Amino acid sequence: MLGEAEARRLLLDALARSPAEQTELVLVSWNGALTRFANNAIHQNVAERDVQVLVRVASGRRVGCAVTNRLERNALERAVEQARAAARAAPEQPDFPGLPDPQPVEPVGGFDDALASASPDWRARQVQALLRLAGSDAVAAGALETGVHEVAVANSRGVFCYHTGTRLHFSTVIHADGGSGYAERAAWRLEGFDAVSAGRLAVERARKAARPREVAPGTYTVVLDPYAVQAVVGWMAYAGAGALAVQEGRSWMNGRVGTAALSERVTVWDDGRDLDGIPAPFDFEGVPKQRVVIVERGVPKGPVYDTQTAAKEGRQSTGHALPRAWPETASIGPIPTNVFLAPGDATVEELLEGVDRGLYVTRFWYTRLVHPRDCVVTGMTRDGVFWIEGGEVAYPVRNLRFTQGYVQALGSVEGVGAETYLLGDRFGAYRVPALRVAEFTFTGVTEF
Amino acid sequence: MDELVTRVLNAAELAGAAYADVRVVETTQQSLLVRNGSVQAVSWTEDVGFGVRVVADGAWGFASSHRIDSEEAERVTRLAVQIARASALAKREDVDLGEPVVQRGSYRTPVEVDPFAVSLETKLELLLRADQEMRRVVGVTTTEVEAVFIRQRKTFASTEGSLLTQEIVETGCGIQATAVRDGEVQRRSYPNSVGRHQQTRGWEFVVEQDLVGNAPRIAEEAVALLSADPCPDEVTTLILGGSQVALQIHESCGHAIELDRVFGAEAAFAGTSFLTPDKLGNFRYGSEVVNITADATLPGGLGTFGWDDEGVPAQRVDIVREGLFVGYLTDRETARRLLRLLGPSPYVTGVSNGTSRASGWNRIPMIRMTNVNLLPGTWALEDLIADTDRGVFMDTNRSWSIDDRRLNFQFGCEIAWEIQNGRRTRMLRNALYTGITPEFWRSCDAVCNADQWVLWGTPNCGKGEPMQVGHTGHGAAPARFRNVRVFGKV
C-alpha cells in the first residue's frame, strides 16, 4: 500500500512535469490475496501487488491516454509522453468537455485494519472450518479473497482526492447427493464474517437440491434469492442506467423515464457513500459520487452521468465515470457501481407462501443480454432450484434456461424480502433483497 | 532479468520449496477506438511484473508483484512459500507434476509488418475511413471501429532447469454499426462481434480484413435489420457462419475438454463438464463429419506459442475424431491425475499436452484452450445452401449463454436469412438457437471446406479466480446442423 502522502507526491510530481495543456492522473492499486478450494482442498492460493497510473491528456479537444504500472519518474514521464503523442495524432473529440474542476470530496470509511492484515493462514483456517462443516459426504469449492485497494485522482485543474478501502469476497458451491448449493458474501470489514455460517446455508441448500425432477419450461411465478436478484439488477444497471446508453437510444429507460414502468415495490439507487455497501467517495475523474435514485417506487428517474455525458445535457456529473484509459472501459460510459435495491418486509417463507405453483431460484448463471430495449436476458438457474406448491418448497427440479425481459419481470414484483445481501461486483457492489416475481419465462431445461 | 530469475529460484529453494518457477512478463498494448467519427480512445499500456509459483509441503503457493527489484524478488518468493504452507493446511494429496520438464530456447511470433512500427496516424486514418463509410449510410445511429496491438515478452525459468524466452505479438480489429428506430435496436459487426477479430500476426492482418471495403455493407445490414421479420419459432435446419461455429466450438467443446474443470477445479465459478473421464475414448460427441483438434502450432492463432507457461512445448492434439471424444486439454498436474485414474491407454499418457497459460504475471497458469478447431469438410458454402430445402442461415454472434456443465446452450446471432428451396431469401432479425451440446454436434451433417476455413480469435475468454481473460483461437468454417430449435421473438 502506498498511502495518501506517497500517492499525492507521485501524482503531483508527475503533473508538475507534464507539458500537456490538461493532464489527469489516476492511481489504482491492489494488494490482495485469494485462497481457492475445490474437492475439499485448497488447490490455488495466490497473492498480488500491483499499481497502475492511468494518464489522460488533452490539447484542446484532442485527447490521448496511457497506462503504466511502473512508478519510476522516467516511466511516468514516458506514459505522459505516449498519451501526448496519441493526442497529437487524434482528431478533435467534439464532445470532450475538458477535465472536471475540483469539488470537495468528504472522506468516507471503508478501511478495516483487521481485514487489511488477513494472512494466508487466516484464509486457510476459514477454508478448513468450512471443509469440516461440509464433512465427508459433501464436496466444497469456492474462494476467499481479501485485500486493500487505493484510488487517487489528480488533474491539472486542481483536483486531488484519495481513497483506500479493504475488501473481502467469499463464495462457495457445495455439492452433495447430486445437488448443489451456493453462498456468497462481500464486505469491507472482517467483523461479522465467518465462512462457516455463510457456508452452512450452502450445505443445507445442496442437500435439499439432491435428486432433482424435471419441470417443463413455461412462465411461472418465481421467488428469487438475492443472488439471482443481483443478476437482474446488475444487467439493468450496466446495460441501461448509464447516460451514454440513454443518449444513444439503446437503454431500457428510453421512453420510460417518469412512467410507472416497473412495480411500485421497486426502488433502486446508487450511493457510493453508504457504509452498507463497498464505499467509494469519488469516481475515476475525481468527481464526488452523488446519491442517485434510478427507480423510485417503480418510476425510472434517470441515469447516472460522467463529465462528458453530463455536458451533453448541460448538467453536472453525478460522479459515475469509469476509466477512459483502460481499453475495456473506454466506451462503456458511466454506470452505477454502488447499487441498492430497497428491501421490503417479507421473510423468504412469506414470499413463498404467496405462490400456489412456481419456482424458487437460488441464483442465475451465464446471463447475457439478448436485446437491450426491454433488457431481455437469457441465462441458466444454478445451485438449487425448487418447485413451490401451495406456498411451500415441494421438491428440487433440474436447472432451467430463461429468456426474460427484466423490465417486465421487475414490473410484476409481488413481494420484497426484508433481508439484504451485499454482493460483489467488478467496480463496486450490490445490496439487494429477495423478490417474488409474478411472471418469469423459462425457455429450456438441462440434464441436471 | 537474469539476476531476478536466479534470485527467485535460489530464494525458493532456500525457503524449502520442492519446485519453483518464475515468469517475468512485460506487455505493451496499444488500443484505438473510433466512435461516431471521433477518436474516443488512443491508449498505450505498459505492464510489467513477475510471478513466483512454488510447491512446498506438497501444496501450491503463488505470489506476484509489479516491482522488479531484488528486495521485492525475495519478499515475493518468501510469501509464495508461506502461502504454499498455508495451502498444505487443507490439502488432500501432494502435488504430482510427473517427470521434470527441462526446456531451453526462444520463440517469436512471425509477423510481416511489426504493428508497433506503423505510425499512429496511419492506423487512425484507416479506422476513421472505415467509420466514415459506415456513417454515410442513412439510419445508422452509432458506429465503432477498434484496433488492438499487443506485444508480450516473457521469460520462464524453473528449478527443474527450464529457461525460455518468448515474444508473442497479437493484432486485432473490427467495425460495428448500430441502428435504432421505433424502439428496435440492431447491430452488425465485422469481421467478428464483441469488438474485433484477432490473431498472432502483424499489421498485415488489419490490411487483409479490408475494414473500409466492408463498412458500407455492415452499416446497410444494421439498418435493414430494423425492418426485417423476426426469426420464426420452429425446429429446422440451421447453417452457421464460420465465426459463430467458432464460438460454438469455444463454448460447447473448448471449455468442456479442460481437464481442470472436469476434475472440479472450477466447480464454484466457471463450472464443471459433462465430458467426464468415463467418456474418454467411447463417447459419441458428434457426427462422423466432426473432427476437432487443439493445435498450438498453427500459425496465426491466439493459442499459438512456443511453450506454455509450465514450459511444455506447443503441440497438436486430437480432441474429437470422426465424432468420437478422444482427448482433453491437460497441464502437468491433471495429466498425472488422469493417468492415476484411468491408467495408460491410447488416450492417456500422463504427460501434459501443453495448454497451461496465465493471462499475465499476476496470475497462475491454468488450462486454457489453445487453437481448438473444427477441421474443414468438403462443402462449398453455396453448394451447402443449394443443398438445403428449408432452414435458416445465421451469422455473427450477438449473445451467448451455456450451463455450467456445458450442455444447454442458447446463442443469438446478429443476422440471419431464411433458406427456401436451396436459396437464401428474406433477412431475419433477433435470430436465436438453442440445444444440448452432444445432440447438436451429432446433428452436424456438413462442414464447409478449407476455402471458407478461418482461424478465428477469441480475446475475451473468462476463467478462474481472480479472473483471467484468456486469448484463444478457433479454426472453423460454416457448418450445417439438422433439427435445431430456432426462434426470434424477444
How far from A265 is each of A176, A271, A413, A417, CA to CA, in Å? 36, 19, 7, 11
Q: Identify any residues that bridge with B236 across adjacent strands, giving them in sequence order.
A: B484
User: How does residue B489 score in pLDDT terms, banded at 50, 70 and 90?
Assistant: confident
Tell me which of B179, B205, B227 is where a domain ends: B227
- On whether both A178 and A257 belong to a single domain, the answer is no
Chain-chain contact of A172 with B268 (C-beta, under 8 angstroms): yes
> Which residues neighbour B457 within 8 Å (Cβ) at sequence distance 6 or greater?
B170, B172, B192, B197, B198, B199, B301, B302, B471, B472, B473, B474
Task: Please state, rounded to an integer, the average pLDDT across all residues of chain A.
Answer: 96
φ, ψ for residue A201, nearest 5 deg:
-65, -35
φ, ψ for residue A83, nearest 5 deg:
-65, -40
Within an 8 Å CB–CB cutoff, is residue A367 touching chain B?
Answer: yes
DSSP code of residue B308: -
Chain-chain contact of B79 with A405 (C-beta, under 8 angstroms): no
pLDDT digits (tens, 9 = 90+) for B112-138: 999 999 999 999 999 999 999 999 999
Contact criterion met (CB below 8 Å) for B75 and B11: no
Classify residue A229 as exposed, middle or buried by CB count within 10 Å of its CB (0-12, 13-18, 19+): buried
- Taking the C-alpha atoms of residue A161 and residue A7, their distance in angstroms, rounded to an integer, is 10
pLDDT digits (tens, 9 = 90+) for A75-132: 999 999 999 999 999 888 999 999 999 999 999 999 999 999 999 999 999 999 999 9
Tell me which of B180, B197, B227 is where a domain ends: B227
Buried b (16+ CB within 10 A) or exposed e, A379-407: bbbbbbbbbbeebebeebbebbbbbbbbb
- On whether both B14 and B100 belong to a single domain, the answer is yes
Shortest CB distance from B48 goes to which of A69, A93, A94? Answer: A69
pLDDT at A305 over 90: yes
Length of chain B (residues)? 490
Identity of residue B41: A
Chain-chain contact of B184 with A446 (C-beta, under 8 angstroms): no
- On whether both A200 and A257 belong to a single domain, the answer is no
Total domain count, chain A: 2
Within an 8 Å CB–CB cutoff, is residue B349 touching chain A?
Answer: no
How close, in Å, is residue B422 to chain A by CA atoms?
Answer: 29
Contact criterion met (CB below 8 Å) for B175 and B211: yes
Exposure on the CB side of residue B281, measured as CA atoms within 13 A: 8
Within an 8 Å CB–CB cutoff, is residue A87 touching chain B?
Answer: yes
- On whether both B53 and B9 belong to a single domain, the answer is yes
User: How does residue A136 score in pLDDT terms, banded at 50, 70 and 90?
Assistant: confident
Nearest to A66 by CA among B43, B28, B40: B43
- On whether both A241 and A360 belong to a single domain, the answer is yes
Residue of B nearest to A66 (CA): B44
- On whether both A314 and A347 belong to a single domain, the answer is yes
How close, in Å, is residue A419 to chain B by CA atoms?
Answer: 24
What does the pLDDT read at residue A446? 87
Within an 8 Å CB–CB cutoff, is residue A117 touching chain B?
Answer: no
pLDDT digits (tens, 9 = 90+) for B207-233: 999 999 999 999 999 999 999 999 999
Total domain count, chain B: 2
Within an 8 Å CB–CB cutoff, is residue B264 touching chain A?
Answer: yes
- On whether both A256 and A351 belong to a single domain, the answer is yes
Q: Which of residues 371-390 of B touch A (CB under 8 A)?
A: none
Within an 8 Å CB–CB cutoff, is residue A259 touching chain B?
Answer: no
Mean pLDDT of A282-307: 98
Nearest to B391 by CA among B247, B232, B244, B246: B232
Tell me which of A205, A239, A254 is where a domain ends: A205
- On whether both B64 and B125 belong to a single domain, the answer is yes
Nearest to A42 by CA among B23, B352, B64, B94: B94
ipTM for this model: 0.96
Residues of B within 8 A of A370 (CB-CB) are: 398-399, 412, 430, 432, 490
- On whether both B250 and B135 belong to a single domain, the answer is no
- On whether both B283 and B333 belong to a single domain, the answer is yes
Q: Which of residues 129-148 of A touch B (CB under 8 A)?
A: 131, 139, 141-143, 145
Tell me which of A177, A205, A233 is where a domain ends: A205
Classify residue A349 as exposed, middle or buried by CB count within 10 Å of its CB (0-12, 13-18, 19+): exposed
Q: Identify any residues that bridge with A380 across adjacent strands, giving them in sequence order.
A: A365, A401
φ, ψ for residue B458, nearest 5 deg:
-115, 100
E strands present in B182-247 = 184-190, 197-199, 229-230, 234-240
pLDDT at B195 over 80: no
Residues of A within 8 A of B40 (CB-CB) are: 93, 330-331
pLDDT at B490 over 90: no
Instruction: Output the domain CATH number for residue B135.
Output: 3.30.2290.10
Domain extent at residue A253: 212-445
- On whether both B152 and B66 belong to a single domain, the answer is yes
Chain-chain contact of B59 with A131 (C-beta, under 8 angstroms): no
Chain-chain contact of A124 with B86 (C-beta, under 8 angstroms): yes
Shortest CB distance from B401 goes to which of A123, A127, A380? Answer: A380
- On whether both B190 and B247 belong to a single domain, the answer is no
Q: Strands A357-371, A218-224: parallel, antiparallel or unpaired by DSSP?
A: parallel
- On whether both B337 and B190 belong to a single domain, the answer is no
Percent of chain B with pLDDT over 90: 97
Residues of A within 8 A of B269 (CB-CB) are: 143, 171
Tell me which of A174, A205, A236 is where a domain ends: A205
- Which 3-state string (H, E, C) describes chain A? CCCHHHHHHHHHHHHHHCCCCEEEEEEEEEEEEEEEEECCEEEEEEEEEEEEEEEEEEECCEEEEEEECCCCHHHHHHHHHHHHHHHHHCCCCCCCCCCCCCCCCCCCCCCCHHHHCCCHHHHHHHHHHHHHHHCCCCEEEEEEEEEEEEEEEEECCCCEEEEEEEEEEEEEEEEECCEEEEEEEEECCCCCCCHHHHHHHHHHHHHHCCCCECCCCEEEEEEECHHHHHHHHHHHHHHHCEHHHHHCCCCCCCCCCCCCCCCCCCCEEECCCCCCCCCCCECCCCCECCCEEEEECCEECCCECCHHHHHHCCCCCCCCCCCCCCCCCCCCCCCCCEEEECCCCECHHHHHHCCCEEEEEEEEEEEEEEECCCCEEEEEEEEEEEEEECCEEEEEECCEEEEEEHHHHHHCEEEEEEEEEEEECCCCEEEEEEEEEEEEEEEEECCC
Within an 8 Å CB–CB cutoff, is residue B180 touching chain A?
Answer: yes
> Which residues neighbour A274 within 8 Å (Cβ) at sequence distance 6 or greater?
A291, A338, A340
Tell me which of B183, B211, B227 is where a domain ends: B227
What does the pLDDT read at residue A235? 97
User: How does residue B40 score in pLDDT terms, banded at 50, 70 and 90?
Assistant: confident
Taken in order A295, A297, A301, A305, the sign of the CA dihedral is: negative
Q: Strands B104-108, B163-181: parallel, antiparallel or unpaired by DSSP?
A: parallel
- On whether both B218 and B242 belong to a single domain, the answer is no
Chain-chain contact of B399 with A63 (C-beta, under 8 angstroms): no
Nearest to B226 by CA among B180, B195, B287: B180
- On whether both A92 and A240 belong to a single domain, the answer is no
How close, in Å, is residue B60 to chain A by CA atoms?
Answer: 6
Q: Identify any residues that bridge with B344 across adjacent strands, giving them in sequence order.
A: none
- On whether both A251 and A313 belong to a single domain, the answer is yes
- On whether both A435 and A320 belong to a single domain, the answer is yes
What does the pLDDT read at residue A427? 78
Chain-chain contact of B407 with A447 (C-beta, under 8 angstroms): yes
Interface mutation target, options A10, A24, A45, A227, chain B, most CBs of B under 10 Å: A45
Domain extent at residue B323: 234-487
Q: Which of residues 114-153 of B touch A (CB under 8 A)?
A: 119-121, 124, 128, 141-142, 144, 148
Contact criterion met (CB below 8 Å) for B163 and B104: yes
Residues of A within 8 A of B124 (CB-CB) are: 89-91
Mean pLDDT of A294-300: 98
Chain-chain contact of B401 with A401 (C-beta, under 8 angstroms): yes
- On whether both B141 and B258 belong to a single domain, the answer is no
Chain-chain contact of B267 with A371 (C-beta, under 8 angstroms): no
- On whether both B42 and B163 belong to a single domain, the answer is yes
- Taking the C-alpha atoms of residue B285 and residue B298, their distance in angstroms, rounded to an integer, is 24
Preceding omega of B216 cis (within 30 degrees of 0): no
Contact criterion met (CB below 8 Å) for A193 and A185: yes
What does the pLDDT read at residue A178? 86
Chain-chain contact of B490 with A255 (C-beta, under 8 angstroms): no
pLDDT digits (tens, 9 = 90+) for A141-156: 999 999 999 999 999 9
Chain-chain contact of B40 with A120 (C-beta, under 8 angstroms): no
How close, in Å, is residue B450 to chain A by CA atoms?
Answer: 32
Instruction: Output the domain CATH number for residue A173.
Output: 3.30.2290.10
Shortest CB distance from B185 goes to which of A82, A366, A373? Answer: A373
- Taking the C-alpha atoms of residue B20 and residue B77, their distance in angstroms, rounded to an integer, is 9
Shortest CB distance from B401 goes to which of A90, A326, A366? Answer: A366
Secondary structure tally for chain B: helices H, strands E = 10, 24
pLDDT at B166 over 90: yes
- On whether both A154 and A200 belong to a single domain, the answer is yes
- On whether both B310 and B433 belong to a single domain, the answer is yes
Within an 8 Å CB–CB cutoff, is residue B398 touching chain A?
Answer: yes
- On whether both A400 and A324 belong to a single domain, the answer is yes
- On whether both A42 and A169 belong to a single domain, the answer is yes
pLDDT at B420 over 90: yes
